[in-house]
Amino acid sequence: MRFSPSSIAVAATLPIALLLGGCASNRASAESTSVTNSRQWLLTADTSEKALYVNSVADGKRTGVLDNVRLGAHAGAIQLGGGRLAFVDESVPCLDILAIDDGGTPKIEHSYVIPPGNEKWERAGWIATDPTKHYIAVGSDFDGSTTQQVTLVDLTRNAHWTVPLHINEVTLATTGKTGTEEMHTFLAGDPLRLVVTSGGRLDAYLVSDITSGNPAPVPYGSTALGAYPHGPLATAKGDRIASTLRTGIASVALTSDGFGESSTTDYPAGHAQNYRPRIAPDGTTYLGTQAGVVPKETSWDRTPAYLLSGSMAGGPAATVALGEGIFARASVSSHFAATSMAESSGDSLVLVARNEKTGFFDGRVSKIKLTPLAAGPVVGQDAKKAEARFVAATDDGLSVFVTRGGEGKVTQVDTASSRERRTIDYPTKLTGGGYITVVDAAVDGYDLNGR
């Protein structure tokens, strides 16, 4: 299964002051329009309009804009700490390092062009960083190809290398036919390794081998992996990695000489594959939304939704029912997990409290009513063409942001009062829900994979 960003066709006009930078020389950044004491910023991407917006979490005011940047929503973004993050600009393509200053003005600090290799570039599969945030790896997603590539960036040396990697064909869990699976990318272990999923196995390559200039590195170690990986996970320490599979979540420790003990946690009966899992602030708990397994003809408003969370060390996972309908990618704070739900009864922001004893997100479920999407799913109609939402939370859990796809709006919810705090307007429509994330200069990144 492959997920692609929705296409967007809308116009953008904003007062901006030119600041050159990044892979494309005609990028622009807005002058800071408001300086606040908060160093929390909402980054919003309109992918097809190739625009990035920065707004203050404190007052919702726009502080900056970057034009001609198409953030890769599939690979997502990685928080690097200090108001910096990394993402792939698919229009070039290149890996961009974005910094937001104390006034909220964004600037592309560095851009690393990703060479096309022998295949036509489609999009980045996954990006990853290591626990020290010195390295970033960008994996390709050449559909159906047994030759993939990884671009490895050394931020300390301001250098990068691209190496081709062979991916095995397997019997696909989704169709029963022979084909290739999506390649996950990790940077983990000591000594540091680039680890990729490679058709039924995990292959590890020494980062030092790649940075020495070896154009054809050989695996430092390999181990078996189950069918259909579609969501990478790594502990914040980089000592254990995992992949969501067709029927469960498989994790494995990294030892100094290769791979160590492994563990698999099966999904509860009747649950589909975990969707876009992520790591919680404790650095070891994973969580993600799931749909229930239902007959093909089941309408969208009759499809159960769940939140699954567990430990990277393995063992039983916790499952919470969210309702029946369409959900968004899960977001996470130190106190709760969040997603949006479109149900027959209306739209809501769903918060699932964190269990202080286990660290899992299986506590009280709260639903905060949201203004319905103007072009949201309609009961009795196909929901494929309906608009969607994207959700992001501040690390302290005080605010949650929810996009209103097709309307060019983001709703900021105050979790203390369980009310909509304000609506932030954009000059483009954010068709398909766009992409949002919160950048907090005071928080170091704890999730080593792009989300």
What ranges do the domains of the chain cover?
A: 40-440
Please tell us whether the domain made up of 40-440 is placed in CATH 2.140.10.20: yes
Mean pLDDT value across residues 312-319:
95
* pLDDT one-digit tens code per residue, 66-91: 999 999 999 999 999 999 999 999 99
Q: Looking at residue 117, what is its pLDDT? A: 79
CA distance 65 to 70: 13
pLDDT at 148 over 50: yes
pLDDT at 357 over 70: yes
- CB burial readout 296-327, b (16+ within 10 A) else e: eeebbbebbbbbbbbbbebeebbbbebbbbbb
pLDDT at 262 over 70: yes
Look at residues 245, 164, 156, 229 and name the one whose alpha carbon lies nearest to residue 192.
Answer: 156
Q: Looking at residue 428, what is its pLDDT? A: 97
**Residue 231 CB contacts under 8 Å (≥ 6 apart), including other chains:** 184, 243, 244, 273, 274, 275, 276, 277, 288
pLDDT band per the 50, 70, 90 thresholds, residue 12 = very low
On whether the CB atoms of residues 310 and 384 are closer than 8 A, the answer is no
* pLDDT one-digit tens code per residue, 388-447: 999 999 999 999 999 999 999 999 999 999 999 999 999 999 999 999 999 999 999 999
Q: Looking at residue 31, what is its pLDDT? A: 34
On whether the CB atoms of residues 223 and 201 are closer than 8 A, the answer is yes
Stronger pLDDT, 34 or 274, i.e. the higher one: 274
pLDDT at 26 over 70: no
Among 21-25, 78-82, 340-344, name the one with the lowest average pLDDT: 21-25
Q: Looking at residue 34, what is its pLDDT? A: 34
Q: Tell me phi and psi for residue 84, to 5 degrees.
A: -115, 150
Mean pLDDT value across residues 285-305:
96
Q: Looking at residue 204, what is its pLDDT? A: 98
Q: Looking at residue 10, what is its pLDDT? A: 29
pLDDT at 385 over 80: yes
**Residue 215 CB contacts under 8 Å (≥ 6 apart), including other chains:** 163
Q: Looking at residue 23, what is its pLDDT? A: 57
- Which burial class, exposed, middle or buried, applies to 272 when counting CB atoms under 10 A from its CB (0-12, 13-18, 19+)? middle
pLDDT at 20 over 90: no
Look at residues 373, 355, 378 and name the one whose alpha carbon lies nearest to residue 307.
Answer: 355
pLDDT band per the 50, 70, 90 thresholds, residue 116 = confident
β-strand partners of 160:
153
Q: Looking at residue 254, what is its pLDDT? A: 97
CA distance 108 to 92: 14
pLDDT at 96 over 60: yes
Q: Looking at residue 284, what is its pLDDT? A: 97
